[in-house]
Chain A
Amino acid sequence: DVKVTQSSRYLVKRTGEKVFLECVQDMDHENMFWYRQDPGLGLRLIYFSYDVKMKEKGDIPEGYSVSREKKERFSLILESASTNQTSMYLCASSSEGDRRNEQFFGPGTRLTVL
C-alpha cells in the first residue's frame, strides 16, 4: 500500500527555533514536494525535489530550506521559526512513470510557532 509518512502530526515551537519536518515515502517515487496549507490560501508549494540532492524553489520558499540526501526522505527546515510560519505542512510524492501524475500526500504536520 502506498505510503507517505511525516515525522509529527502536531508540533509546537518557539520563535527563533530551528525546526525540522521529515517526510518519508516507501513507493520509490522520484518527486517529492512540501506544501503549506492555510485557510483561504489553499495549498502553496514551498519546495520540490525531482531527484536525490536536487531541489527547486516553489512559490513561497522564503524562510525555508530542504534536504534530500536519500530518495525516500525529504526534509523541510525552518531556519529560524516565526509566528507567520504557523500552518499545516503537507508532504507529497509522485512518480514520473505514473500516467495519472497522482500526488500522494502524507497526513500533515500542524505546526504552531509561539
Chain B
Amino acid sequence: QKEVEQNSGPLSVPEGAIASLNCTYSDRGSQSFFWYRQYSGKSPELIMFIYSNGDKEDGRFTAQLNKASQYVSLLIRDSQPSDSATYLCAVKLVAGTYKYIFGTGTRLKVLA
C-alpha cells in the first residue's frame, strides 16, 4: 500500500514565525508532489507543487523536496492567523497514472 504520512498536529506557531510542515512518502517512483490548504468546512486548494529535488519558493511559501530521503516539506514564512488551516500533502505516482495519494493532513494554528 503506497502511503503518504504527515503529523496530524495541531502545530501551533506564533504570528510572524516560520511554520514547518513535513511529509514522507513510501513510493520511490513518485513523480510530483503537492501541498493543498484546506480551511475548516471548505475544500482543498493547491498552494504549491514541486517536481525536482531542492527548494521552490512562491511568496511566503517554500516547498522542499528530497527524493533520496522520500521527504517533502512546506515552510511558511511570516505566518499569519489566516494561514491557520489543515495542510494536505499529496503525491502523484509514476507518470501515466492519474492517481494521487493524499496524506491525512497537518492542522496548523497561527496564534495572534
Contact = CB atoms under 8 A, between A and B. Distances in A.
A97 interface: no
Interface string B65-107: 0000000000000000000000010101000001110111100
A90 interface: yes
Given A45-B100, A101-B92, A90 B49 contact: no
Interface in B27-51: 32, 34, 42-46, 49
A76 to B, nearest CB: 15
Contact of B104 (A42, A45, A103, A107): A42
A108 B102 CA distance: 16
Interface in A79-101: 90, 94, 100-101
Given A105-B43, A106-B43, A108-B43, A43 B98 contact: no
B8 interface: yes
A5 B45 CA distance: 14
Interface residues of A, number: 23
A26 interface: no
B43 A90 contact: yes
Contacts, number: 46
A31 interface: yes
Contacts of B100: 33, 45, 103
A41 B34 contact: no
A43 B49 contact: no
A13 to B, nearest CB: 21
B104 A40 contact: yes
Interface of A: 31, 33, 35, 40-45, 48, 50, 56, 58, 90, 94, 100-103, 105-108
Top 3 nearest A-B pairs (CB, nearest first) are A42-B104, A105-B43, A43-B102
20 contacts: A35-B102, A40-B8, A41-B104, A42-B88, A42-B103, A42-B105, A43-B44, A43-B102, A44-B102, A45-B99, A45-B100, A48-B98, A56-B98, A58-B99, A90-B43, A90-B44, A101-B34, A102-B34, A102-B46, A107-B43
